[in-house]
């Protein structure tokens, strides 16, 4: 089960996390260097985000000499999954299928990805329903007129 992200991670903070997810363990210098190149952030900016991520509990800071070794407290996949959930929570369940179809049509995919998705889809075929139940409040989706 995915980690519950009660606190939110912003897009900027995610940039920091990506470095840590990639490196496994990173010093602030590792992080600062990557983001200075990619986003032209000043070292102080990256450091602010590091501090906030530690405070939010997304980054672990292990003291090592006079500095810290940072590592992720949450997995990248879980985090992306949580972000995707947040998006889907904002739309009617009935629209989920269409939305996924949209994303799918625009995503760059490898043969392997296609294969994986096909497998999941096959499984879905067995459990699909005739009509997805609406999860909206009256007046907040067109289900009645569907």
Applying CB under 7 A, the residues found at the interface with DNA are 8, 10-13, 27-29, 32, 39-42, 44-45, 47-52, 54, 61, 65-68
Residues 6+ apart with CB under 8 A from 31: 16, 19, 20, 46, 50, 70
Residues 6+ apart with CB under 8 A from 137: none
Closer to a second copy by Cβ: residue 7 or 88: 88
Closer to a second copy by Cβ: residue 48 or 76: 76
What is the smallest separation between the CB atom of 58 and DNA, expressed in angstroms?
11
Which residue of 3, 27, 30, 60 would you call a contact of a second copy, by CB under 8 A? 30
Dist CA 139 CA 89 (whole Å): 17
Closer to a second copy by Cβ: residue 54 or 96: 96
CA separation (Å) from 137 to 91, 93, 133, 142, 146?
11, 12, 12, 10, 15
Closer to DNA by Cβ: residue 68 or 100: 68
Q: Which helix (H) or strand (E) holds 59?
A: strand 59-64
Binding site for a second copy (CB under 8 A): 11, 14-15, 18-19, 22-23, 30, 33-34, 37-38, 76-77, 80-81, 83-88, 90-93, 95-114, 116-118, 120-121, 123-125, 128-133, 136-142
């Amino acid at each position: 089960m995915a980690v519950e992200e009660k606190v939110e991670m912003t897009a900027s903070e995610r940039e920091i996390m990506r470095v840590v997810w990639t490196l496994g363990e990173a010093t602030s210098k590792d992080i600062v260097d990557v983001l200075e190149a990619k986003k032209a952030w000043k070292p102080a900016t990256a450091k602010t985000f590091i501090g906030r991520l530690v405070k939010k509990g997304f980054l672990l800071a292990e003291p090592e000499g006079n500095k810290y070794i940072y590592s992720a407290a949450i997995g990248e996949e879980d985090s992306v999954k949580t972000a995707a959930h947040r998006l889907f929570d904002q739309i009617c369940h009935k629209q989920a299928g269409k939305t996924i179809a949209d994303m799918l049509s625009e995503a760059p995919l490898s043969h392997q990805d296609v294969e994986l998705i096909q497998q999941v889809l096959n499984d879905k075929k067995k459990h699909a329903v005739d009509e997805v139940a609406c999860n909206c409040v009256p007046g907040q989706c067109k289900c009645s007129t569907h």
